[in-house]
Structures are given as structure tokens and as C-alpha cells.
A = this chain, B = another copy of it.
């Protein structure tokens, strides 16, 4: 296995680096006091420090199930498997489907690509446009393969949001041919206008819906989940148990206690959406000012703005920028073939306004030396 260049970028980051690279939440927006209160309560009961069951503590699974029920996507605690981040959720699903073929979006999340490689899944990429993939093409390929990995909400890296009609098209293909989609949804709550209906809700028994607290509360908790049909959850639980017995009980109990007062989480999400929308607007207006040649589509949520800098090999560009302590992820990292690309994924949630202006100006200055 090759170390990813993204890792190389992330590891080059020190206190002086301006980073538009990782998908990092804004640290100033973590609800640290509420989580601290919850954490303190966890240690009042020694049973919370004991081994827990592999599929996740019951009250947390009940609360996660209720996220779905509120949206009329009928879900029981038995439909939920708590995982060590949604990264592990995806690993477990890939292990379950090992050696099969799978449709992926092109470009796609590199962490998923690595998981599929490790579990020997043959990847069939379908080009992703800003409103979603071509669903006619999807139907053709899916008919044969019957397995797909999609990130319909504010995709990583492209920021795309699938239209409702494309969501229905995809669900229809699944209903027609059987099989499964894996719907990765870490950014779904980070919408600016309104939440889209998940594809999984149309096909509850033929889908794996991956959720996470990493982008909404704190990545450090390492708690995500899989929603799937109950029989499959049992199979996945056996894999989970073999991999790490169970996810951090401390993290699970912190979340469970924090979520006891549901308005706390709701209010936090509202704040987060508002703050990230402002950060997106600040970032894109800085882009228009400092890096006018960058061609992009305004995100409707999530953490990334993706676009192209015509005439540049952005891999070459980032290598030079790294020396000046400004980093982003060049587009070629998200394609299986490692093609030369003029594209860039910028994260806009992590940096401050001053860092954004300074960072983008540095990139613009360096790009001029490459012309």
C-alpha cells in the first residue's frame, strides 16, 4: 500500500501552516462546555467504564434511530451499528462485500478508495457532475454490479449535491435490480438551505446509510454509525466485534448524555450551519478577489469548494505552496488513475479570515511564477 500524498500534506502541517487541506471542523465551534459536562457525568457510574456490547450502547442507538424516525425514515435501534467513526463503518461494509465490484463516483473520497483496495473491491468509476452522476449510466452499470458507493450530500471532494430526481432514479435502479447502495452522509447536516431526503430512505432494506458525529460535534470522539437492515446489521456486528470488540464506551456515553437534551444538539447544528455558510461566503469571495482564475461552483453545504485553475498542474502547485506553508489538496488525488489535474479541493471550514486571505494570496503569487 502506498502512503497517500494527502497524508504527506497533512503531516507537513505545523503551527505556522495555513491549511485548506483536511476536512477539519472549526475548533472554535466545538460545544466544549456541554461535552465537558456530559463527560463528567459519564464517570459517575463505574458501569460506564466496563466492556460494552459490540453493536453500541442501547440508549445511543435509540437516539440515533430517532434521528431517522423524525424524518419519517422508520428505524429501530436494531438497524444501527455504532462504529469507530464512519471510516470504520465503511471498512466493515467493504469487508462484508470483499472481492466484489463496486460503482464509485469520480472523483471520490480517498479514504473510501483505500478501504475498497484493501478489501479487494473492483472499482467502477462514474463521472460526478455538480447535480450528481448520470443516472442512466448508473442504471446500466448497476444492473451488472448491484453495489455502489455514493456521497449524495456535499460530496468529498467535489461538494456536489444530488438533485431529488437523481436520488429517485438511483433508488429505482436498486428496486429494479436488487443489490445495495452505500450512502456516505457525514456532511448531510451541514446544509445551508434545507436537508435533502436520503436515497436510503427510499430503499431501507437495500442501503447502508453511514452517519457520523465527526463533522457535527467532534472528530476526536470517533463515533459514527451504519443504518441498514436488521439482518445485515447482525452480520456486520460480528465483523465489528472481531476488529475492535466495540467502539470507545467513554465516547458513546458522552454522546448519549449530551443528546439527552435534544435541543442542545439542534441548537448547535443551527449555529454550525450558519457559521459554515458565513465561512463559505467569506472563502468564496476571497477566492474571487485573490485567485480570479479559479473556476468553481458555490457549495450549498458541507466543507469544501472544488474547482479548476486552468492551465496549471495543481500537484506541482501544491508542492511549491507547501514550502511557503500553505496547503490544499490537488484534484488528481481523488482520481483512481492519478491523472494530471488542474483541480483543487479547498476546505473552508477550518481557517480564519486572515489565514484565508493570506493563504490564497500566496497561492496566487506562486501560480504566477509557474506561468
Contact, CB under 8 Å: A248 / B245? no
> Does A330 belong to the interface (CB within 8 Å)?
no
> Does A161 belong to the interface (CB within 8 Å)?
no
Q: Which residue of B lies closest to A54 (CB)?
A: B7
Besides A25-B50, A84-B243, A84-B244, 18 other A-B contacts (C-beta < 8 A): A1-B242, A33-B43, A35-B49, A36-B42, A39-B40, A48-B220, A51-B214, A51-B219, A84-B247, A85-B244, A87-B243, A91-B243, A91-B244, A114-B241, A114-B242, A219-B249, A222-B250, A251-B251
Q: Which residues of B contact A36 (CB under 8 A)?
A: 40, 42-44
Contact, CB under 8 Å: A221 / B250? yes
> Does A28 belong to the interface (CB within 8 Å)?
yes
Residues 74-102 of chain A, each 1 if its beta carbon lies under 8 Å from chain B, else 0: 00000000011101100100010000000
Among A3, A53, A244, find the residue whose CB has the most chain B CB atoms closer than 10 A.
Answer: A244
Residues 33-68 of chain A, each 1 if its beta carbon lies under 8 Å from chain B, else 0: 101100110111011111111000000000000000
> Does A364 belong to the interface (CB within 8 Å)?
no
A residues sitting closer than 8 Å to B (CB atoms) are 1, 3, 7, 11, 22, 24-25, 27-28, 30, 32-33, 35-36, 39-40, 42-44, 46-53, 83-85, 87-88, 91, 95, 111, 114-115, 118, 214, 218-222, 235, 238-239, 241-251, 253-254
Contact, CB under 8 Å: A218 / B32? no
Q: Which residues of B contact A244 (CB under 8 A)?
A: 83-85, 87-88, 91, 222, 244
Q: Which residue of B lies closest to A116 (CB)?
A: B242
Chain A interface main SS type: helix
Q: Which residues of B contact A243 (CB under 8 A)?
A: 84, 87-88, 91, 243
A85 interface neighbour in B7, B22, B245, Cβ under 8 Å: B245
Contact, CB under 8 Å: A49 / B115? no
Contact, CB under 8 Å: B33 / A220? no
Instruction: Say how many copies of this protein the assembly contains.
Output: 2
Top-5 shortest CB links A-B: A220-B249, A36-B43, A248-B248, A49-B218, A88-B244
Q: Which residue of B lies closest to A253 (CB)?
A: B220
Q: Which residue of B lies closest to A37 (CB)?
A: B43
The answer for the CA separation of A22 and B54 in the assembled complex, in Å, is 14
Q: Which residues of B contact A52 (CB under 8 A)?
A: 220
Smallest CB separation, A166 vs chain B (Å): 29
The answer for the CA separation of A287 and B42 in the assembled complex, in Å, is 36
A249 interface neighbour in B1, B28, B222, Cβ under 8 Å: B222
A115 interface neighbour in B83, B85, B242, B248, Cβ under 8 Å: B242
Contact, CB under 8 Å: A49 / B84? no
Q: Which residues of B contact A242 (CB under 8 A)?
A: 1, 87, 91, 111, 114-115, 118
Q: Which residues of B contact A28 (CB under 8 A)?
A: 46
Q: Which residues of B contact A51 (CB under 8 A)?
A: 22, 24, 214, 219-220
Contact, CB under 8 Å: A220 / B248? yes
Smallest CB separation, A91 vs chain B (Å): 5
The answer for the CA separation of A44 and B39 in the assembled complex, in Å, is 12
The answer for the CA separation of A243 and B46 in the assembled complex, in Å, is 29
The answer for the CA separation of A244 and B114 in the assembled complex, in Å, is 12
The answer for the CA separation of A11 and B214 in the assembled complex, in Å, is 30
Q: Which residue of B lies closest to A35 (CB)?
A: B43
